[in-house]
Structure 1
Amino acid sequence: MSRQQRDALDALLRSAPRSETPPTLEEQRSGFTAAVTRPVPQGVVTHRTVLGGRPTLELEPAAVSGRGRLLYLHGGGYVIGSPETHAGMVGELARRAGLRAMSVDYRLAPEHPFPAAVDDGLAAYRELLAMGAGPQDLVMAGDSAGGGLTIATLLAAREAGLPQPAAVVVFSPWVDLTLAGGSIRSKEGVDPIFTAADIRAYADLYVGTGDRAHPLASPVFADLTGLPPLLVQVGANEVLLDDAVRLAARAGADDVEVTLEVGPGLPHVFQHHYGRLDEADAALDRAARFLATHLGADRLEPVR
């Protein structure tokens, strides 16, 4: 990252003023939508559909390679966000991988607390299989809370006796709702987006007084045996750094093929900054190649 890019990104991330009065839930949701949403890439067509009983945004690149499908679960602390807020980044990942993508509008807390989101992720995955998609033609991805939800969905699928997909990618996954990772404290002054209090507030809304160490809420404490090849990407400048590092370690200990990438000087879900940050474009290219390779398209060159 050039100094100019670093300064511009830091200014962008720190530009939102923090009020002494906590924003309402509606203000959080509308503010997130305004800050994060980017246009769907050119050459990617979107369709609204339903998957697993939930509204779903289907994104189809002009150049689709084979029968592969990507099931995507968006971030937002289980409280905010939608397929629309993430359509730009998901469209970029789908375009570069040459995959049709399905981005699920799973139910959000606090209206629908844990395990509603997991139930929706599992229902979507189950329906893709029921529609005739072979597990070898399916991959999954998610960011932040959606990254944790992606892992939880795979655990729920395993427990339900369903086959695992070909591969999974997670960006800055939130996988420990107990906030036990050391970076929750050590990176708080460095992270330009979140504080420990922010993360704790999302956990309060999602789990409430429930068990925050439950493996479907905090997959870092789960037995990950049998999960598919996993790529974890995370920025070094984020309070959730240790979530990603410990997830990769847990996967490795459970004999899962895992690749961990830590981006120096980068913030939470830096992939959102594709087109204006070189590291974001490179990370999306690597994620696209990882998914395509495990689908058997190992000759695929990422589309730029």
Structure 2
Amino acid sequence: MNDPNFGVAVPQHTVPFPSSISDAARAALERLVRADGSVLNAAFVAPSPDDLQAWLHVKTQVDGQYAVAVNALAGQSGSTVETLTGHGATIHLATPRTLTDEGRAYIDFHGGALVFGGGEACRVGAQMQADQNGVKCYGVDYRTPPEHPFPAALDDALSAYRYVLERHRPEDVVIGGRSAGGNLAAATLLRARDEGLPFPAGLVLLSPQVDLTESGDSFETNWLVDLVLPTRLTSSNLLYAAGADLSQAHISPLYGDLSGFPPTFLQSGTRDLFLSNTVRMHRALRRAGVSAELHIFEAMPHGGFGGGTPEDLELQHEISRFVQLRWPKQDAQETAPITSDGRNQN
């Protein structure tokens, strides 16, 4: 049968929250639905991709919400942060109170559907990564649409990567991002190869938005089941691409040549709208001969449960473990242990 809409007819039903997750995770999910079971976040309707004024208005509102949410998650940071400009990209350089190694660096690309999440949220996110990994974190505050569509964000990402490589050896650098940031982290490596730049020591992709065509299975199976990201991002994807082919590798890195990529950490959840993005990227990396870890968390929506649930802390610990393993060997007395919350003990 050639009908693209043919499939399994699922009777209307309620998807309950499982007992297989922590009480804190279950409470986090329950806060995202109304008493009748409808999804709070599903009420948002994205503007048309050609309504730039509407997108500017939405962007201002959402950026403010992101800043509040990230500040709440970050708590009291022990890192200092300075904003660097004039290097082809705006970078928030966060330095932890105690560095495990002056030469090591983490490059962080924030999430936000390739439109939101810049400014204050990006700055605080860099501090969180510096605290967690005990190294300098370069948070890339890349330009976003509607003012700056593709390839502006990727140009900024590559500029930031060049800046970091001028100050750190590639084997001392790990690059990562969540959601839209995962897109840019992977696309940056594709551009880096085009430019003859070396790859970093590791890559961290957290529920990465690596396929803007949204062709994966979970875009149907987790529609409205993911309480954080309940519906597709079609409009913002088209806004970002600005007429470019959504399947080209620099826009959807899933379709790029991934050979030679560094060891990669991938994470998603069984209720994540981007679950298919993540598992397909993992398989593509493995087919390319790349060492890749895939971590799927029970009932976790896009971006995690939030609020320090046991599952979120376990994920932080796994990321810290992976990042620490990417660095060149240190003397035992120089290696700081990782605590149960995933942060460097120093």
Normalising by structure 1, report the TM-score: 0.90
Q: Identify the residue that residue 296 of structure 2 maps to in structure 1.
A: 262
SS at match of 2:139: strand
The letter of the residue matching 1:30 is Q
Answer with 1 or 2: which has the greater Rg.
2
**Who is 2:27 aligned against?**
8
Paired amino acid for 1:281 = L
- The alignment yields a C-alpha RMSD, in angstroms, of 2.2
Q: Amino acid of the residue matched to residue 53 of structure 1?
A: G
Asked if the contact 1:51–1:127 (Cα under 8 Å) also holds between the matched residues in 2, the reply is no
After superposition, the Cα gap between the structure-2 partners of 1:94 and 1:288, relative to the gap in structure 1 and judged at 3 Å, is: farther
Is 1:93 aligned to residue 93 of structure 2? no
Q: Please, which runs of 5 or more residues in structure 2 have no aligned partner? A: 1-19, 35-39, 48-53
Counterparts of 2:28 and 2:151, CA distance in 1:
35
Match of 2:249 among 215, 239, 242: 215
The partner residue of 2:107 within 71, 76, 82 is 71
User: Could you say if the C-alpha distance between residues 163 and 189 of structure 1 is closer, same or farther in structure 2, counting changes exceeding 3 Å?
Assistant: same
SS at match of 2:120: coil
Q: Distance in 2 between matches of 1:20 and 1:269?
A: 18
- Work out which of the residue numbers 169, 180, 183 in structure 2 matches 1:134: 169
- The residue correspondences of 1:222-261 to structure 2 (distance < 5 A) are 222-261=256-295
* Alignment correspondent of 1:27: 58
The 1:231/1:126 distance shift into structure 2, 3 A limit, reads same
Of 301, 305, 321, the match for 1:289: 321
Distance 2:204 2:243 in 1: 30
Identity over aligned residues, as a percent?
A: 29
Are the equivalent residues in 2 in contact too, given 1:168–1:231 (CA < 8 A)?
yes
Structure 1: runs of 5 or more not aligned: none
Distance 2:270 2:188 in 1: 26
Q: Give the Cα–Cα distance (whole angstroms) in 1 for the partners of residues 124 and 30 of structure 2.
A: 21
Q: Which amino acid aligns with 1:50?
A: T
> How many angstroms does 1:3 deviate by?
4.8
Once the two structures are superposed, residues 251-275 of structure 1 have per-residue CA deviations (whole angstroms, 9 ceiling, x without a partner) of 110011100101111011117x2x5
1:217-274 CA-to-partner distances (Å, cap 9, x unmatched) read 1111111011111000112111110000000110110011100101111011117x2x
Q: Give the distance between the partners of 1:253 and 1:19, measured in 2 at CA.
A: 39
2-structure distance, mates of 1:297, 1:138? 14
Aligned-pair distance for 1:2? 4.9
Give me the whole-angstrom Cα distance separating, in 1, the residues matched to 2:41 and 2:204. Answer: 32
- Measure the CA separation in 2 of the matches of 1:140 and 1:246: 20
Counterparts of 1:269-280 in structure 2 under 5 Å? 269-270=303-304, 273=306, 275-280=307-312
* Aligned CA distance change for structure 1 residues 20 and 278 (closer, same or farther; 3 Å): closer
Which residue identity does 2:183 align to in structure 1?
G
- Would you say the 8 A contact 1:171–1:269 is kept in 2? yes
* Distance in 2 separating the partners of 1:297 and 1:33: 41
Q: Which moved more, 1:31-40 or 1:113-122?
A: 31-40
- The answer for the alignment partner of 2:199 in structure 1 is 164
Q: C-alpha separation between the residues in 1 aligned to 2:106 and 2:44?
A: 41
Residue 113 of structure 1 pairs with residue 149 of structure 2: yes
Query: In the alignment, does 2:212 pair up with 1:154?
Result: no
Contact 2:63 2:118 in 1 (8 A): no
Does structure 2 conserve the Cα–Cα contact (< 8 Å) formed by 1:41 and 1:88?
Answer: no
In structure 1, give the amino acid aligned to 2:24. Q
Single out whichever of 108-117 and 261-270 deviates more from structure 2: 108-117
User: For 1:93, what is the secondary structure of its paired residue?
Assistant: helix
CA contact (8 A) 2:77 2:127 kept: no
Q: Which residue of 2 aligns with 1:54?
A: 89
Q: Which digits, 9 at most, give the CA deviation of each residue in 1:17-38, with x for residues without a partner?
A: 6547656432344235325322
Please give the secondary structure, in 2, of the residue aligned with 1:251. helix
Distance 1:188 1:228, change over 3 A: same
TM-score normalised by the chain length of structure 2: 0.80
